[in-house]
Structure formats: C-alpha cells, structure tokens
Amino acid sequence: MQVNENKEFQPLIVAFCCNWCSYAGADLSGTNRLNYPTNVKIIRVPCSCRVNPMFILRAFQKGADGVILCGCHPGDCHYTSGNYFTRRRMTLLFSMLDFLGIERDRTRVEWVSAAEGAKFAATMNEFTEAVKKLGPNRRLEDLRCRKQ
Amino acid sequence: MQEAIISKAKQLLADGTVNRVIGWKKGEFAYDITPAIFESAEEIDADFVYDDFTSANVSKYLVKESKKEGKVLAFLKPCDTYSLNQLTKEHRVKRENIYVVGIPSDGKLDAEKIKAKGITGITGVEKDGDTLKISTIYGEETMPVAEAMSNKCLSCKSKKHVTYDELIGEDGEVIDSNRFGMVEELENMTSQERYDFWRNELSKCIRCNACRNVCPACTCENCVFDNPDSGVQNKAAADSFEENMFHIIRAFHVAGRCTDCGECSRVCPQNIPLHLLNRKFIKDINSLYGEYQAGADTTSRAPLNDYTQDDCEASIVHERGVE
Ligand code: SF4
Ligand code: SF4
Ligand code: SF4
Ligand code: FES
C-alpha cells in the first residue's frame, strides 16, 4: 500500500472485478505484496457481464474519476460466455460516452486471470496514472455528490 | 389515399376479418393527428383521417391491442412494419391477432417547420408536385414540400414493407438516404465540441418521457425510469449527470433493437435530436459486428444477444483518432 502525503490530485478509481478470475487476481497481487494505489476501490461481481451500463454511470455519479471493468480472459469465463457479452456491451457503451464528449480514457475493460496478480497491479497503476492526467471527472459528475 | 384506406377498413370490418381498426383522428388542430380505435363504419365515417400530417406509428399500440379478443386492423407505413416485426420477434405482440394493411408513404410533414416560416392558423395542406399548398384561416400560402418534410422522412431508410397481410399500392425498395451523415459530423468534432453540443441539446430535456412512451422498442412493463427508488422517476433532471444518464440508458436499452423509426425525435417537445444517439449505436453495430437492421426479419439474433469469439476489444474505442 502506498500512502500519499502530498496534495496532488488523487483520482478515485472503481474497479468491477469478476469473482472467478479478476477478484482472485487482485487477491493474488495482495498476497504477493505487489503495490497498487489505494485509490482503487474494488467491487466484486459474480461475472463481468453482471455489470450493467447503469453501474458504470452510477460509479461516476457517486464520485469515481475512472471506472475499470475486469473479467476472465475471453474463453475462460466461469459461465462460459458472459465476458463475450460484456465485451460487446462495454464497447458500445464506451463509444457512446465518447460520442457524448466524455473523456474516453476514464473507462477501460481489462481481462485479468486468477494467476495474473502482477498484471492486476500493473493495470491498476497504469490506469490510475492515466486518469490522474485527466484530472477530476467533471463531465459526468453529479454535483450533489461532490465531496468538499 | 384516405378514401382507399377508409373503404378497406370498412370492408374488413363488414366481412368480419377484424372487429376493430386502429387508425387516426384529428386532434385539436389540423396537424395534430392522433391514433384512435374505431369499431364501426359510422365511427370511421365520422372521424378517420389519413393525410400528410399522419405520422404516428401505431405499432406500439398493438402490444395491448393484439392481446384483446378478435383481430385488429392496422395500417402500417413501411417504417412502421419494421417496428411490428421487431415486436413480433420479441414476443411482445400476438401477430396472429393483427391484420396488417401496408400503405405507401411519400413522406410526412412537420407542422413546426411550416410554422417556422411564419405560417400560422393552418387548416389543411395539399401536395402539388414539389409545392405545398397550405390553407390557413388567413388565406392560402405555399412553400416547397422538401422544406416542410419531417426529419424522420428526410432520412427514410426503406420504402419496403417487411410484414403485411395485404398492400394498398405498390411496394417500394430499401433506400439509401445518408442517415448517418450527422453522426459522422459529430464524430469528427473534438471531444469538447461534442460535449458542448450535447450539453446544449440535453439540457433542454424536461423529462416528459414522451420519447420512451412512444418508442416501439420500449415496451417494458416496468421501466427503470419508473422505479421510485431510482431517484430519477419522472422528474426534471437536477443536473447534467441525470440528463446524460437518462439519455445514455434509454438509448442503450434499445441498442440493437431500435429500428430507427424516428418516433422519439418526432415527439420530443424540445426538439432534441435523440435519434442521433440511437443512430450512433446502429452505426457502431454495423461497423463492428456487421450490418444489422432491427425489424428486417423475425428470426435473427440481436447484436447484443450475440457474440463471436473474435469480436474487437473495447479498447478499439480508445484507439480512435480525433480526441
Ligand atoms: S421527449 Fe424530449 S424532452 Fe421529453 S424526455 Fe424525451 S428527450 Fe426529454
Ligand atoms: S429509439 Fe427512437 S428511432 Fe429507435 S425504435 Fe425507439 S422511437 Fe424508433
Ligand atoms: S427505457 Fe429501458 S426499461 Fe424503460 S421502457 Fe425503454 S427499454 Fe424498457
Ligand atoms: S466469470 Fe469472470 S468474466 Fe464471467
């Protein structure tokens, strides 16, 4: 874990992780004592395809600056095909967010297996950096939920 | 056309093929024609209208109507037949309880466009070649037909009926009308420009829900937007987040099922170009997963209910040019 003492902008990242692969991957990166930012809040879902577009929007509403969705690699979904549906849905959703002028780099899909603790940590580090560069989410925020 | 439709309706009522007809009648003004049910020849004689302002797609009414006793007669324009096909495919209507008479359409008029020319007190219109003769309480006016044509008809995708039991007139063809032109224009803007464009449009939304209510793809018994716990039930959006959310979710729910009938934009009292959101989904689906026209048939799998193992990754969105 990192402790950030300086006052630079710290993005809040919401990571939806499927129970069978990515959540286990996150666990593994923990047991391996790999570093990833404390700004990443993990929400465990049974399968990546449990995440409906509303979840992504709600995460932004409640203050997320970036939302990442992690699931099993294509072909490895515990429910056989869930992540294939996720892939189409999220592609279309992200494209729509981009069409509405919402920064596309605030969203991402990444496939992380239960064995890829290192990939999980690296992905989170990299995504957090990318979102940090974009600054706070202003285009898809709910003013009533802004803390301060 | 009105005479042909009326006599067809009376004939089918008289010979018992159907026991009611879903058609249209005049509203308060000559141009607000509304869908209505007719059960007898007398009712038809009294109120039935079909003219250049009759744009309402009646297929959504068939969700309820087709579940009642006996057959119902519906007159459908080419675009309306796509909606009905889609509803049939989703088992939302009982197709066997509907008698469809396909009617041709040479484009419907938008009264707002006529009024924008300063022409008011409209009592009737008549197409005369490319000229539109408008009678008003102040006398006769004229304007080019093309300038009064409704937006949904300007970007018509097909003059072909995809389902019918009988046709009045000749069937047409699928046509190419550059319906994605405006979507492309937006795609070529910068992210900031697009954001500003949509802020300007979506902030006009009064959450009347008309776009959802009219949409033939939006037939859920319990809509997410009617959920009292959602915090967004039938109320004007409190901020830009809610505006975005309503529009993204509404468009997403019909992605792959939207036939591009154009009803949502037509009924929007704020003239928000909502169909651009649906068309963006249609365009993406066509380019990423192969050409698909919702409602063209009743057997194909909807693109979001389907996948292939080598679909593109979501990162394709991030790799696009223009930021
Ligand atoms: S019809 Fe127009 S104003 Fe009404 S909810 Fe839909 S977009 Fe908003
Ligand atoms: S979203 Fe609009 S264009 Fe699409 S089916 Fe519904 S009303 Fe028609
Ligand atoms: S907006 Fe969504 S939930 Fe509501 S009627 Fe349309 S498809 Fe159904
Ligand atoms: S269980 Fe991991 S993506 Fe379906």
DSSP codes, B175-223: ----TTHHHHHHHTS-HHHHHHHHHHHHTT-----HHHHH-TT---SS-
Check if A108 contacts B (Cβ < 8 Å): yes
Mark yes or no for CB contact A109/B315 under 8 Å: yes
Residues with Cβ within 8 Å of B81's Cβ and at least 6 positions away in sequence, in order, are: B59, B100, B102, B161, B162, B163, B164, B295
**In this structure, what token pair is assigned to residue B4?**
């042909």
> In this predicted model, what pLDDT tens digit does every residue of B8-48 receive, in sequence order?
999 999 999 999 999 999 988 989 999 999 999 999 999 99
Mark yes or no for CB contact A88/B311 under 8 Å: yes
Query: Does B322 fall in a domain?
Result: yes
Q: Does A85 sit in the ligand 4 pocket, CB within 6 Å? A: no
- Whether B137 and B246 map to the same domain: the answer is no
User: Is residue A41 very low, low, confident or very high in pLDDT (cuts 50, 70, 90)?
Assistant: very high
Cβ atoms B257, B305 nearer than 8 A: no
User: Is residue A8 very low, low, confident or very high in pLDDT (cuts 50, 70, 90)?
Assistant: confident
B80 Cα–ligand 1 center, Å: 21
- Give this prediction's pTM: 0.93
pLDDT for residue B323: 54
Query: Does B323 fall in a domain?
Result: yes
Mark yes or no for CB contact B289/A88 under 8 Å: yes
Q: Which amino acid is at B296?
A: A
Check if B197 contacts A (Cβ < 8 Å): yes
Q: Does A84 sit in the ligand 4 pocket, CB within 6 Å? A: no
Q: Which ligand is nearest to the CA of B234?
A: 1
pLDDT at B219 over 90: yes
ipTM here: 0.91
pLDDT at B94 over 90: yes
Q: Does A82 sit in the ligand 4 pocket, CB within 6 Å? A: yes
- Whether B171 and B242 map to the same domain: the answer is no
- Whether B202 and B302 map to the same domain: the answer is yes
All residues of chain B having their beta carbon less than 8 Å from the beta carbon of residue A109 are 313-315
- Whether B29 and B168 map to the same domain: the answer is yes
- Whether B122 and B250 map to the same domain: the answer is no
Q: Which amino acid is at B20?
A: R
Cβ atoms B304, B256 nearer than 8 A: yes
A17 Cα–ligand 4 center, Å: 9
- Whether B167 and B26 map to the same domain: the answer is yes
Q: How many domains does chain B have?
A: 3
pLDDT at B258 over 70: yes
User: Is residue B83 very low, low, confident or very high in pLDDT (cuts 50, 70, 90)?
Assistant: very high
Domain ranges of chain A: 25-132
Residue B196: how many CA atoms within 13 Å on its side-chain side?
5
User: Is residue B313 very low, low, confident or very high in pLDDT (cuts 50, 70, 90)?
Assistant: very high
User: Is residue A145 very low, low, confident or very high in pLDDT (cuts 50, 70, 90)?
Assistant: confident
Cβ atoms B83, B57 nearer than 8 A: yes
- Whether B323 and B184 map to the same domain: the answer is yes
- Whether B53 and B96 map to the same domain: the answer is yes
User: Is residue A6 very low, low, confident or very high in pLDDT (cuts 50, 70, 90)?
Assistant: low
pLDDT for residue A146: 80
Ligand 1, pocket-test mutation among B206, B243, B246, B274, most atoms within 8 A of CB: B206
- Whether B217 and B260 map to the same domain: the answer is yes
Query: Within a 10 A sphere around the Cβ of B151, how many other Cβ atoms?
Result: 15
Ligand 3 binding residues, C-beta < 6 A: B 212, 218, 220, 223-225, 250, 253-254
Domain housing B56: 1-107+158-177
- In ligand 3, the atom with minimum distance to the C-alpha of B222 is 3
- Whether B144 and B125 map to the same domain: the answer is yes
Q: Does B78 sit in the ligand 2 pocket, CB within 6 Å? A: no
* Helix (H/G/I), strand (E/B), else coil: A70: strand
**In this structure, what token pair is assigned to residue A79?**
């429910």
Query: Does B153 fall in a domain?
Result: no
Query: Does B300 fall in a domain?
Result: yes
Ligand 2, pocket-test mutation among B61, B183, B258, most atoms within 8 A of CB: B258
Q: Does B210 sit in the ligand 1 pocket, CB within 6 Å? A: yes
User: Is residue A3 very low, low, confident or very high in pLDDT (cuts 50, 70, 90)?
Assistant: low
Q: State percent of chain B over pLDDT 70.
A: 98
- Whether B89 and B221 map to the same domain: the answer is no
Cβ atoms B36, B24 nearer than 8 A: yes
- Whether B296 and B187 map to the same domain: the answer is yes
Q: Does B255 sit in the ligand 2 pocket, CB within 6 Å? A: no
Ligand 4, pocket-test mutation among A27, A47, A69, A89, most atoms within 8 A of CB: A47
